[in-house]
Amino acid sequence: MADELEVIESPSGNKIIAPDYTFGTVTDQIASVVLTKQTPIAVLGTFTVALGLLMTFMLAVGLLFGKGLGIWGLRGPTMWAWDITNFVWWVGIGHAGTLISAILLLLNQQWRNSINRFAEAMTIFAVACAGMFPILHLGRPWLMYWLFPYPNTMGIEPNFRSPLVWDVFAVSTYATVSVLFWFVGLIPDLATLRDRAQNPAFKVAYGILAMGWRGSARHWAVYETASLLLAGLATPLVLSVHTVVSFDFTVGIVPGWHSTFFPPYFVAGAIYSGFAMVLALAIPLRSLYGLKGLITDKHLDNAAKVMMATGLIVGYSYIMEAFAGWYSGNVYEEAAIWNRMTGPYAVQYWILITCNVVAPNALWFKKVRSSPIILFIWSLIVLLGMWLERFVIIVASLAQDNLPSSWRVFESTRWDWATYLGTIGLFLFLFMLFIRLLPMISIFEVRTLLPQAKVDKKESL
């Protein structure tokens, strides 16, 4: 059977993978997190908190089912508020995972190989959280299957001309393709865990999931084709999903929503917040599990650069938004933008400008990018900023709409908080289960990064 367990705890270097690794050490280091290592106290603590929040979520949803949407702060004219804010925020976070796993694969960015697995898991769990909100917001969530076209005795069908129905198709396709892509990536690593597990129950479980994968060259050839094809399919898909999400707003004629630059603006914002979440997860994880040789400072640096670049696009969009509001000459557009900056939501607006436009400029400095602690704090700032952005777009436009007599300032209730924090609990709960049960770094893709994985052209002939 296997050689002795080889683990490197704290290697050095600023490359995408620390030197001195071998096929064996890479395998053992990542597999040991699942198979042998003791779960760190911090992970157990997070898991406990997450479970508590998840129970809060169950309570909030139970109450919602019993009493209806009135338990949230939804009052006319603000019939979209935290729910849709949270939906857009979570879907956006998911986008970084697909960007890393698909787009960076097509661009042959090898540094993605050690962060794609958990970033994809992040995508799936974020989309799961996102999917909760439109469904809970339906009013009668138990009839959610009415969203899909199926033969029914009521003689009615969804309205395919509505962006909300497009959203159902976009998000459910996105969730399905993300899960498939993630599972295909897992198959060879599940085979590794099957071959390495000592506990017979785990051996059987991983064996069933690995489906008899044996690393055959014939299989690898098809496998590589399949990965490339899936990446090629996921790339336009991920761009389409947030575009469709932005159509939920732009197709409506609400002032502050009805503009053509929303799709690219939303996609950039999505990747911005997604990379913030990647950093917020990667920085503590690599310390807790001693994976600094695989998720190196170089990865954090690259992720911070992507975050800054997309942050600057988002900043540009804010400027364009204000400019377009003024340049349109439309009094309602102008009023909507002015109201955002100086109205009842001015505090939130200026906080989001600070978080999303001012803060990312610190990432120009290498000192900031090379300090994990600062990056961690920065990623939380960005996540907060992006949540507020969606909140301000949605609520400021609705609460002060075209008819001043119906204006009302939105006030959140404790159940808004409970539902929102509850999905954070759901997300962390699923994520902690994932890092405990599945390899959080793609083992076989990291093996290909090692210098010894290269075939010597002369020798092999």
Partner 1 sequence: MNPPIYGLMAEFDDPTALVKAARAAREKGFRKLDAYTPFPIEELSDALHLHKNKLPLLVLIGGIVGGTLGYMLQYFVTVIYYPINVGGRPLHSWPSYIIITFEMTILFAALTAVFGLLGLCGLPEPYHPTFNVPRFAMASRNRFFLCIESTDPLFEHDQTAAFLESLEPREVSEVAH
**Which residues contact partner 1 (rule: CB under 8 A)?**
1-2, 22-24, 27, 149, 155-161, 165-166, 169-170, 173, 176-177, 180-181, 183-184, 188, 191-192, 194-196, 211-226, 229-230, 233-234, 236-237, 240, 244, 247, 444-445, 447-448, 452-457, 459-461
Q: How far is the CB of 125 from partner 1 (least distance, A)?
A: 19
- Please give the structure tokens belonging to residue 460: 């092999």
Q: Is 172:124 a contact under the CB 8 Å cutoff?
A: no
Q: How far is the CB of 143 from partner 1 (least distance, A)?
A: 18
Q: CB nearer to partner 1: give 37 or 203.
A: 203
Q: CB nearer to partner 1: give 48 or 162.
A: 162
Q: How far is the CB of 133 from partner 1 (least distance, A)?
A: 20
Q: CB nearer to partner 1: give 240 or 354.
A: 240
Q: How far is the CB of 260 from partner 1 (least distance, A)?
A: 15
Q: What interhelical angle do 414-437 and 41-67 show, nearest 10? A: 140
Q: CB nearer to partner 1: give 168 or 314.
A: 168
Name residue 367's amino acid: K
Phi-psi region of 329 (alpha: psi -120 to 50; beta: other; left: phi over 0): left
Cα–Cα distance measured from residue 28 to residue 22, given in angstroms and rounded to the nearest whole number:
10
Q: How far is the CB of 250 from partner 1 (least distance, A)?
A: 13
Name residue 22's amino acid: T
Q: Is 114:16 a contact under the CB 8 Å cutoff?
A: yes
Alpha carbon separation from 431 to 152, 421, 426 (Å, rounded):
38, 15, 8
Q: CB nearer to partner 1: give 83 or 248.
A: 248
Q: How far is the CB of 193 from partner 1 (least distance, A)?
A: 9
Cβ density class 296-321: b for 16+ within 10 Å, e for less: bbbbbbbbbebbbbbbbbbbebbeeb
Cα–Cα distance measured from residue 140 to residue 284, given in angstroms and rounded to the nearest whole number:
39
- From the list 155, 8, 85, 105, the residue with the least C-alpha distance to 410 is 85
Q: How far is the CB of 444 from partner 1 (least distance, A)?
A: 4
Q: CB nearer to partner 1: give 24 or 284.
A: 24
Provide the 10 A C-beta neighbour count for residue 183.
Answer: 13
Classify residue 377 by burial, with Cβ atoms within 10 Å: 0-12, 13-18, 19+. Answer: middle
Q: CB nearer to partner 1: give 134 or 255.
A: 134
Name residue 358's amino acid: V
Q: CB nearer to partner 1: give 214 or 367.
A: 214
Q: How far is the CB of 160 from partner 1 (least distance, A)?
A: 4
Backbone angles phi, psi at 240, to 5 degrees: -70, -30
Backbone angles phi, psi at 78, to 5 degrees: -90, 80
- From the list 225, 190, 196, 238, the residue with the least C-alpha distance to 211 is 190
Q: CB nearer to partner 1: give 9 or 456.
A: 456
* Tokens 């909300």 belong to residue: 164
Q: How far is the CB of 230 from partner 1 (least distance, A)?
A: 5
Q: CB nearer to partner 1: give 157 or 411.
A: 157
Backbone angles phi, psi at 238, to 5 degrees: -65, -40
Name residue 329's amino acid: G
Q: How far is the CB of 7 from partner 1 (least distance, A)?
A: 14
